Amino acid sequence: MSGYCDFARGHPLHGPYHDHEYGVPQRAEAVLFERLLLEINQAGLSWETMLRKREGFRRAYDGFDVEKVAAYGAADRARLLADPGIVRNRLKIGAAIHNAGVILRMRDSHGGFAAWLDAHHPLDKAGWVKLFKRTFRFTGGEITGSFLVSLGYLPGAHRPDCPAHQRLLATQVPPWMAAAG
Q: Which residues are catalytic?
A: 17, 39, 47
Is the CA virtual torsion 81, 144, 140, 106 positive or negative? negative
Query: Torsions phi, psi of 13, nearest 5?
Result: -105, -50
Task: Determine if the peptide bond prior to 122 is cis (ω within 30°).
Answer: yes
Distances (CA, A) of 89 to 21, 30, 44, 112, 117: 26, 21, 11, 27, 27
As a whole number of angstroms, the distance between CA 101 and CA 87 comes to 20
Nearest CA among 154, 149, 153, 170 for reference residue 4: 149
